[in-house]
Amino acid sequence: MSTLKNDLLLRALRGEKTERTPVWMMRQAGRYLPDYLKLKEKYSFFERCQTPELAAEITIQPVEQVGVDAAIIFSDILVVPQAMGMEVQMVEHKGPLLPEPIRRASDLDRISVPDVEDSLGYVFDALRLTKKMLNGRVPLIGFAGAPWTLLCYMVEGKGSKTFDGAKAFCYTQPEVAHRLLQLITDTTIAYLKGQAAAGADVVQIFDSWGGLLSPEDFEILSLRYIRQIVAALKDEALTIIFAKGAWQSLEAMAATGAHGLGIDWCIRPQVARQLVGPKVTLQGNFDPAKLVSPIPVIEREVRAMLDAFEGGPHIANLGHGILPNIPVDHARAFVETVKNYAYEPAR
Ligand code: CP3
């Protein structure tokens, strides 16, 4: 039995009919809310992640200030490489930096599958505290990066548009790449199980760079490992896979048994639905850059998006993370428009 006052997200993920479409926004915690930016002046990025009181406060801000139907824990996908033994820095205006990347077999000696209670217990503490502070208002989402996306950062050492270095590593040293992917997968399974035990109702796997791979390579380098994670979490949490740009592999992703699949704005919802079949819940797919539009335009475009999902099963979301320059009332207009919408089938 769920004791949540608002469990729309969970029911939508189970494929049940809901009175309206649930809505949340990727990267809703942090980035654009003025109260977050104030905390950012006082504490470093990892201080914010590692202090449960700060992480919980940031997690709840969009629930209270924007009215979303779910909270997503404030953290980052790169806490996993950090827990495995790599140094990770967040450089202002530049993004992540891993000064000693993985380049060859001997580099694997520097990393290991950690005891997640020791190295990531602060995330579990933040989840437990957030759960308590939410007091049943909305479900709580946990998350991790997909093994492929984490490999990209661990090998490249920084962000990239193409991750050619990570690909070169995989294509020239496939055996080492697969050992690395399996180490990340084993860590991620333990980590997400810990998140579920600490109160995450749903876990989302972010494969931000899945779209860089051909369908064949997506299967070999990404989906093979995501499949292990989804299977391991089967009895512990609802699962969502968001592999940005990897729409060519939606059908294969649906076959993993994940409850939800994220899509970005470059695929029509009707086409995605045809690929995945009637059961799985689709999540997305508003172009986050469009939230700069005047509010009446946002309202119109959000309704057009909802029309295209034809009554679901659907979770309204952006097709990627919210951008730092979005005014709060524009984010609120996105959420409010979803809440006020009722799907009427065309006759
Ligand atoms: O959804 C949420 O709001 C929860 C928090 C969250 C963060 N990162 C906080 C963060 C989540 C879900 C992430 C996921 C994440 N991190 C992804 C996958 C989603 C995506 O956007 O594709 C990726 C690729 C990362 C890696 C990462 N972390 C990058 C590339 C950057 C720098 C640029 C950026 O996105 O801002 C970060 C830093 C980061 N992670 C910030 C926040 C709020 C910004 C730094 C700061 O506020 O000090």
Return phi, psi of residue 202, to 5°.
-135, 145
% residues pLDDT > 70 (the chain): 99
pLDDT at 261 over 70: yes
Confidence of residue 32 (pLDDT cuts 50, 70, 90): confident
For residue 253, the Cα-to-chain-centroid distance in whole angstroms is 15
Confidence of residue 2 (pLDDT cuts 50, 70, 90): low
Section 47-67 average pLDDT: 97
Ranges 91-95, 102-106, 223-227: which has the least confidence: 91-95
49-74 CB burial, b ≥16 within 10 A, e <16? bbbbebbbbbbbbbbebbebbbbbbb
| Right CATH for 8-341 from 3.90.1720.10, 3.40.50.300, 3.30.70.520, 3.20.20.210 | 3.20.20.210
Which mutation among 76, 163, 202, 242 tests ligand 1's pocket best, with the greatest number of atoms within 8 A of CB? 76
Distance from Cα 288 to the centre of ligand 1, integer Å? 15
CA-wise closest residue to 153 among 143, 142, 165 = 165
Section 299-326 average pLDDT: 97
The CB of 285 under 6 Å from ligand 1? The reply is no
Nearest-atom index, ligand 1, CA of 29:
3
Gyration radius of the chain over CA positions: 19
Closest-CA residue, ligand 1 atom 41, reads 31
pTM of the predicted model over 0.75: yes
The CB of 123 under 6 Å from ligand 1? The reply is no
For residue 159, the Cα-to-chain-centroid distance in whole angstroms is 17
Q: What is the pLDDT of residue 1?
A: 42
pLDDT at 232 over 90: yes
The CB of 143 under 6 Å from ligand 1? The reply is yes
Cα–Cα dist 198/207, whole Å? 23
What pLDDT, in 10s, does the model give residues 278-306? 999 999 999 999 999 999 999 999 999 99
Q: What is the pLDDT of residue 154?
A: 98
Distance from Cα 1 to the centre of ligand 1, integer Å? 33
pLDDT at 347 over 90: no
Distance from Cα 16 to the centre of ligand 1, integer Å? 31
pLDDT at 258 over 50: yes
Domain ranges of the chain: 8-341
Q: What is the pLDDT of residue 218?
A: 98
Q: How far is CA 205 from CA 28, 109, 201, in A?
A: 16, 26, 14
**What does pLDDT average to over the chain?**
97
